[in-house]
Amino acid sequence: MEENDSELIQAYLEGSDAAFERLYRRHRQALYGYLRSLLSETDADDTFQQTWLRVCAALPGYRNHDRFRAWLFRIARNLAFDEIRRRNRRKEVGPEEAEEQFVPESEPWRQFADAELRHRLSEALSQLAPEQRAVFRMRRNEVSFRVIAAQENCSVNTAIVRMRYAVRKLKKILETGGKT
């Protein structure tokens, strides 16, 4: 019989590295997928590692063992939003903008249009509330509303409403050239 998260946490706190490894393997794929829905690959990798470091540091004081996954995703979400805020403050050039600078010579109008659309969408996404942006990116990756709700720690209806607001705001931003 497989141990639940609470049992694995207790075993880890008693010194079992193998218990932590099982806990990590159980949640790593879902956690990484969630972070990739919010961040670039590089930022997701960094945030993924930071999340597990925070978890290790905080586990001795963690008391709600039956809600570990929600707690884990909340830590990841907070770290991801911190990274998004840092990126927005620094206005760094992301990988999509860097690609736009190296447009191949065949069909330049197509690449220009695609690059312009990616740029406008990226700009529009940055104007959404972090919760709306997270839902939009996950839906764009065909994540179900049920999974989104679990990862965002909200109801399915709330996830749907966030998506509706995100689409409405994106449409308005794109139609008005970036002005809301």
Mean pLDDT of 3-25: 89
Is the sign of the CA dihedral 35, 28, 160, 145 positive or negative?
positive
Instruction: Please state the domain extents for the chain.
Output: 1-92
pLDDT of residue 100: 43
Q: pLDDT tens-digit profile of 61-95?
A: 888 767 899 999 999 999 998 888 887 776 544 44
pLDDT of residue 167: 85
Averaged confidence pLDDT in the chain: 80
Q: pLDDT tens-digit profile of 86-111?
A: 877 765 444 444 444 444 444 444 44
Share of the chain above pLDDT 90, in %: 16
Q: pLDDT tens-digit profile of 116-175?
A: 777 787 888 888 899 998 888 888 877 788 888 888 888 888 888 888 888 888 888 887
Fold of the CATH domain 1-92: Rna Polymerase Sigma Factor; Chain: A (1.10.1740)
Q: CA 76 to CA 81: how far, in whole Å?
A: 9
Q: CA 5 to CA 28: how far, in whole Å?
A: 13
Q: How far is CA 180 from CA 6, 84, 165, 177, in A?
A: 46, 20, 13, 9
